[in-house]
Chain A
């Protein structure tokens, strides 16, 4: 287009004609996607992954809109089914680097079963789960990850249920990589993604994120900055945290870090052995 126009450093990875994106001002999904793309960019520049072999699969929800903006193959599938769709993609063409990007409601709620079984198989996928604690696209209803006691539009007197700890759940199936990052710590997202990109097997990165519009606003944060600062203050970075430390609640916050890191053979490697 215009040769001397300033372009975004990640424009190689984004369909610029679809921008600006539909995420609300103050949303953390853009930060997460940006950090992931920076990690990808590094790997591509190093020649460790092939830009032409990237596939991004998403389900339904705010995060799932990412499939609409990236400049590589992407699929916007149905609610909760991004992981099985991605498994199919990877099995059909093992040379692809297959990423799944979705929200907590999508990945751990309605699609929770697929999350468990992909982790159990050590399926060669890198799954990012954006945890914003609510079903945001539908307007802020209680999600499986909503901390106990918090107000949402379907729990006007506070959430009576306990939140689902996806870190522990996924780790229980012994996949290769389980980490928790936060949109308040973009460098961590980039670092974890960079590490996980070239690994075999199932890799899961939970990214705590801010939804100022239908989470923050509803629990009394008048602006995105206060929510951002609050989430940041609740995020504690730790080197090699134990799984017991992965439980979270609103008062004590959550521990960011790499909970599981091992180098077991991925599903495709195992499968080949059985095919003899």
Chain B
């Protein structure tokens, strides 16, 4: 299929992951950006402030005094009807946390880019997913990109997903700190007008009927049609206001899939079905499930093993929230052993993806044997040899039928 905008009509540019998302935000007609510097995200707002200074965008840019203020400012902007964007990492995300719950509960379609970085203490600036996993219950849509091209594509898609009338939820786009954020890659960008057409121009807030106004108004803070948002809500109605968040989440998966297809028709690029990017899973005995940039390494090793005749596959989870339980179940139900690689650990439990996948496979007769590998904390490198070790161990489990230790640490010194 020839995409609507063929490659020769797209703009090829060497950018790093941070710049890729900044260009995506630039093309997405963002009204307000508020941000605070934190490694490895900083390049995003630096690049964006350049666009502002050059007059290439009509965006109001505020360099606020903390991440808490950054999230507060974009929440305010979105509540006033703007398309708002910010970016952060690690401790910055931690500082945003109480506001993250506000953004989702007020149903504000913000977009946040997270350049994934380990949480303190001890302080560390390199990649793991402990920051993203901290916000997994905050009511945000969470998507993990595998490479710089996908970070660009996903950031644009994120606005479309967030602002879908059925969704109206904030979206976090995750890219691995340094591994993607700081690594230069050639990517293809669409012309500005194509992106703007794809998004339908500037943000149009959804409308709702307000009884005391006796008419339908846009859901935004507008003095001519006054509404109040987020007022005190106790045991009388709080619960009723929480359930619609869960209902909206249920609709996200289909929207992500649809946007993935629309983007494919436009650009010629798609990422699996949008929620899962699977490789070789159909006939596999052994599958490794993983998020983010490590998927590339895992796929490389799996391809090598396939050449040796081993039936191995890779399940890359692209959409982590809402979690694609049905899709995972369908893809993994015939598999014999599943190794889940997590770049974060819920201390006292397992890695977050392992917990989700276990839930997805719950209740299947002869469900796959499962092992959880915690890897790459604080930016620890994951060479192909470590991934090969994972596949070897999974193969042994398949042969013996014995799982042994379910929680394993990959590439860590033992005393």
Residues of A bordering B, CB below 8 Å: 60, 76, 78-80, 109-110, 112, 135, 137-139, 141-142, 144, 153-157
B354 beta carbon closer than 8 Å to chain A: no
What sequence of 0s and 1s flags, for each residue 50-91 of chain B, a beta carbon within 8 Å of any chain A beta carbon? 101110000001010111000000000000000000000001
Q: Looking at chain A's contact residues, is the secondary structure mostly helix, strand, loop, or mixed? A: loop
Known: A80-B66, A154-B45, A156-B50. A139 touches B123 (CB 8 A): no
Selecting from B31-39, B133-141, B166-174, the interface stretch reads B31-39
Known: A153-B49, A154-B37, A157-B53. A112 touches B42 (CB 8 A): no
Known: A60-B123, A78-B91. A139 touches B46 (CB 8 A): yes
15 contacts across the A-B interface (CB closer than 8 A): A60-B91, A79-B95, A109-B65, A110-B36, A110-B65, A110-B67, A138-B39, A139-B37, A139-B42, A141-B37, A141-B45, A153-B42, A153-B49, A154-B45, A155-B49
Q: Is the CB of B65 within 8 A of A112?
A: yes
Give the docked Cα–Cα distance between A222 and B66 (Å): 31
B120 beta carbon closer than 8 Å to chain A: yes
Known: A138-B42, A139-B42. A156 touches B54 (CB 8 A): yes
Q: Is the CB of A155 within 8 A of B63?
A: yes
Nearest residue (CB) in B for A134 is: B37
Q: Is the CB of B65 within 8 A of A154?
A: no
Known: A60-B123, A78-B91, A79-B91. A154 touches B63 (CB 8 A): yes
B255 to chain A, nearest CB (A): 33
Nearest residue (CB) in B for A153 is: B46
B150 to chain A, nearest CB (A): 25
Give the docked Cα–Cα distance between A79 and B39 (Å): 12
Nearest residue (CB) in B for A109 is: B65
- Most A CB contacts (10 A, CB to CB) among B49, B50, B95 go to B49
Nearest residue (CB) in A for B45 is: A154
Taking CB atoms, residues of chain A closer than 8 Å to B54 are: 156
Q: A109-B66, A138-B39, A153-B49 are in contact. List 19 more A-B contacts (CB 8 A).
A: A78-B91, A78-B120, A78-B123, A79-B91, A80-B66, A109-B65, A110-B67, A139-B37, A141-B37, A141-B42, A141-B45, A141-B46, A142-B63, A144-B65, A154-B37, A154-B46, A156-B49, A156-B54, A157-B53
Taking CB atoms, residues of chain B closer than 8 Å to A80 are: 66
Nearest first, the 3 A-B pairs at minimum CB distance are: A156-B53, A138-B37, A157-B53
Nearest residue (CB) in A for B36 is: A110
What sequence of 0s and 1s flags, for each residue 97-134 of chain B, a beta carbon within 8 Å of any chain A beta carbon? 00000000000000000000000111100000000000
Residues of B bordering A, CB below 8 Å: 35-39, 42, 45-46, 49-50, 52-54, 61, 63, 65-67, 91, 95, 120-123
Taking CB atoms, residues of chain A closer than 8 Å to B120 are: 78
B58 to chain A, nearest CB (A): 15
Taking CB atoms, residues of chain A closer than 8 Å to B42 are: 138-139, 141, 153
Taking CB atoms, residues of chain A closer than 8 Å to B67 are: 110
B119 to chain A, nearest CB (A): 10
Give the docked Cα–Cα distance between A112 and B65 (Å): 9
- Most A CB contacts (10 A, CB to CB) among B42, B91, B120, B121 go to B42
B12 to chain A, nearest CB (A): 25
Nearest residue (CB) in A for B94 is: A78
B25 to chain A, nearest CB (A): 15
- Partner of A141 from B52, B63, B95 at Cβ < 8 Å: B63
Give the docked Cα–Cα distance between A75 and B185 (Å): 39
Taking CB atoms, residues of chain A closer than 8 Å to B38 are: 138
Taking CB atoms, residues of chain A closer than 8 Å to B37 are: 135, 138-139, 141, 154
- Partner of B49 from A138, A139, A154 at Cβ < 8 Å: A154
Nearest residue (CB) in A for B51 is: A156
Taking CB atoms, residues of chain B closer than 8 Å to A144 are: 65
Nearest residue (CB) in B for A111 is: B66
A65 to chain B, nearest CB (A): 10
Taking CB atoms, residues of chain B closer than 8 Å to A110 are: 36, 65-67, 95
B33 to chain A, nearest CB (A): 10
Give the docked Cα–Cα distance between A110 and B38 (Å): 12
B114 to chain A, nearest CB (A): 16
Give the docked Cα–Cα distance between A190 and B348 (Å): 49
Q: Is the CB of A155 within 8 A of B53?
A: yes
Taking CB atoms, residues of chain A closer than 8 Å to B66 are: 80, 109-110
Give the docked Cα–Cα distance between A139 and B38 (Å): 9
Taking CB atoms, residues of chain A closer than 8 Å to B46 are: 139, 141, 153-154
B301 to chain A, nearest CB (A): 35
B32 to chain A, nearest CB (A): 15
Give the docked Cα–Cα distance between A178 and B369 (Å): 65
Nearest residue (CB) in B for A141 is: B37
Give the docked Cα–Cα distance between A76 and B65 (Å): 21
Give the docked Cα–Cα distance between A137 and B38 (Å): 9
A17 to chain B, nearest CB (A): 18
Taking CB atoms, residues of chain B closer than 8 Å to A135 are: 37
Nearest residue (CB) in A for B41 is: A138
B16 to chain A, nearest CB (A): 13
Taking CB atoms, residues of chain A closer than 8 Å to B61 are: 154
Nearest residue (CB) in B for A161 is: B63
Taking CB atoms, residues of chain A closer than 8 Å to B123 are: 60, 76, 78
Nearest residue (CB) in A for B43 is: A139
Nearest residue (CB) in B for A112 is: B65
Taking CB atoms, residues of chain B closer than 8 Å to A139 are: 37, 42, 46
B306 to chain A, nearest CB (A): 43
Nearest residue (CB) in B for A137 is: B39
A234 to chain B, nearest CB (A): 24
- Most A CB contacts (10 A, CB to CB) among B49, B63, B95, B121 go to B63
Taking CB atoms, residues of chain B closer than 8 Å to A141 are: 37, 42, 45-46, 63
Taking CB atoms, residues of chain B closer than 8 Å to A157 are: 53
Taking CB atoms, residues of chain B closer than 8 Å to A138 are: 37-39, 42
Taking CB atoms, residues of chain B closer than 8 Å to A142 are: 63
Taking CB atoms, residues of chain A closer than 8 Å to B63 are: 141-142, 154-155
